[in-house]
Amino acid sequence: MAEAIVTYDLTKTYGRNRGIRDVNLAIHPGEIFGFLGPNGAGKSTTLRTLLGFMKPSSGRAEILGMDTHARTTEVHARVGNLPSEFTLDDRMTGRQLVTLFARIRGVEDLSYAHEVAERIDADLDRPMRRLSRGNKQKIGIIQALFHQPDVIVLDEPTGGLDPLVQETFLTLLTEARGRGQTVFFSSHVLAEIERVADRVGIIREGKLIAVENPNTLTGKAVRQVRIEFAAPLDDGERAAFTRIPGVEGFAMEGTVARFSVADHMDEIVKLAARHTVLALDVERPSLEEIFLTFYGPHENGVTA
Amino acid sequence: MSTTLLKPAAATAPRRITATKQPNTLAVYARHLLGRYRRAGLFWAIGFSVYTALLVLSFPAFQNSGALDVSTYPESLREAFNLESLNLIEPYLSSQVFQLAPLVLAFYPITVFAGAIAGAEERGTLDVLLGNPLPRRNVVLGTWIAVALVMLGMLAILGAATWASALAVDVSLSAREAFRASLNLFPICMAFGSLALLMSAVVRQRAVAIGVPVVVLFLMYLIDIVGKIVSEAAGLRYASAFKYYGDAIVEGVWWGGVAVLLAVALVLLAAAIPAFDRRDIYT
């Protein structure tokens, strides 16, 4: 089966250093593809160039086999899109917006729009100027999903949403996948990508640096570990920990051991289990730590 | 928790919402805009109609006061400002209302067009709209059509107000004269408006899309006045839209001028379509 989204050396440059270079992506039909990167890495530029809002400097992109620049309108008929920083005219309500978009799309069935609105608790009758950022974002989600398009492209969709709504939203995405829809969404939050994405593309400084399984990504990354034992460890027992590959910076303070480790969690747990463990904390790696683990230090220091 | 959340997925899995109509997106979008624009248009029309009606209603008093005797003024001045025979309603309205009206009423299409593309991009609402299967061409055309229709409505209100107030004080002004003078404003207002639409399609700042046509509007008004006062500069008037606008209430509609202004408006509109098609949309 043909890919849902493909980019061929997609490049967009503007200004001196901004933009994306030679991005090659292939997103399969029916998968959720996460697009991860720090702010300013080129996530929005990739999505906006892909959708035809901006003309590629070189390279091209296809959605459902159609060139997104030559056949923009046909492509948009089969794509639901949520741009970043979604907003709409002050006086317009969510209901008016969805009604207009439904008319443009020739969609008469608004049942799913109402279902989504109910599940994420969106206020469809309040004008935009009186909605908070999170409540605007809910309208943005509805207008991207209500027509159940073949391809859904979302730019930082969970921004401003409270955790409960975020969870429901991620469930909506997995349901969409269940219907055979393809989801391509960007985020700088690893946890949400890990939660729903089948694969994740990582972009930094305008370049796609890897496409991974999200579990591999966090599995290999460095984690900070803190173990509190019932009694202090003797020298031999400490040495056993430091011999585990990937363990670094091992230090004992009284009965508390602290160290960082990449992978090899199994050995650590089994070794620790020989003692009485009072507490075990493993800190999830941050996005920046994952980047460091996989791709080395940032050229100009790590950016947030 | 996750099992209960996953259940609806299985339930909705077989069914997918699909488009059931092949809509005319230009008509859908133009109708939407008509609804959005008409309120502001109504306010403009009422404001300017009240001003016009007050002038018409005070005409009999002016006429009797003798304050309108301009026979001692220099001839060039009388001609430039249409001061000749102000004791007739037509030249009176020409100089007091219709020669100045484009300077006021053109602001309506200029501001709306400037807001429609450049303004929407500044507000961040443009890409949401363009994410729909709505060709950019239809955004430009739909905006133009909606503004043109609102403009015609505004001018119809102005014509009706002018005629009704003349009737009220028993001044002889036919409905035909009142409406042709009002509707004659359409080509010139749409010409300056279309310049704003082109700017709106090209630049990213609403202020620039307003500023350029406004400067051109006032420069052309000035050229026209200078051309009327200084006989050596009379030829210059052909460079001004006001020459083609003419003086419909006194002399009747000059169809040649109407054709020139409408052609200018349509050329600017036609230029706005590829300009907008080609440019990048930022947030």
Q: Is B11 on the interface with A (CB under 8 A)?
A: no
Kindly report the nearest CA distance between residue B135 and chain A, in angstroms.
Answer: 6
Residue A169, both tokens? 């939203």
Q: State the Cα–Cα distance between residues B248 and B207, nearest whole angstrom.
A: 32
Which residues of chain B does A147 touch, with a Cβ-Cβ cutoff of 8 Å? 17, 19
pLDDT tens readout for residues B24-45 = 999 999 999 999 999 999 999 9
Contact A169, A120 (CB under 8 A): yes
Q: State the Cα–Cα distance between residues A235 and B209, nearest whole angstrom.
A: 76
Q: What ipTM describes this predicted complex? A: 0.86
Closest C-alpha to A119, from A186, A75, A68, A171: A171
Half-sphere exposure of residue B148: CA atoms within 13 angstroms, side-chain side: 16
Contact B268, B197 (CB under 8 A): yes
pLDDT tens readout for residues A130-169 = 999 999 999 999 999 999 999 999 999 998 899 999 999 9
Which residues of chain A does B34 touch, with a Cβ-Cβ cutoff of 8 Å? none
Q: State the Cα–Cα distance between residues A119 and B12, nearest whole angstrom.
A: 14
CB contact under 8 A, B132 and A87: no
CB contact under 8 A, A101 and B132: yes
Kindly report the nearest CA distance between residue A151 and chain B, in angstroms.
Answer: 12
CA angle B203, B209, B213 (to 5 degrees): 135
Contact B141, B273 (CB under 8 A): yes
pLDDT tens readout for residues B200-233 = 999 999 999 999 999 999 999 999 999 999 988 8
pLDDT tens readout for residues A2-61 = 899 999 999 999 876 679 999 999 999 999 999 998 888 899 999 999 999 999 999 999
Contact B76, B229 (CB under 8 A): yes
Instruction: Identify the top-confidence range among A240-244, A295-299, B7-11.
Output: A240-244
Substitution target in A104, A112, A118 with the highest count of B β-carbons within 10 Å is: A104
Residues 131-150 of B with CB under 8 A from A: 131-135
Q: What is the DSSP string of A201-250?
A: EEEETTEEEEEE-HHHHHHHSEEEEEEEESS---HHHHHHHHHSTT-EEE
Eight-state DSSP code of residue B281: P
Tell me the three state secondary structure of residue A120.
coil
pLDDT tens readout for residues A9-25 = 999 998 766 799 999 99
Q: Is B21 on the interface with A (CB under 8 A)?
A: yes
Eight-state DSSP code of residue A4: S
Q: State the Cα–Cα distance between residues A264 and A45, nearest whole angstrom.
A: 37
pTM: 0.86
Q: What is the pLDDT of residue B10?
A: 46
Cβ-based burial of A254 (10 A; exposed 0-12, middle 13-18, buried ≥19): exposed
The length of chain A, given as a count of residues = 304
Q: State the Cα–Cα distance between residues A272 and A130, nearest whole angstrom.
A: 55
Contact A56, A49 (CB under 8 A): yes
CB contact under 8 A, A73 and B9: no
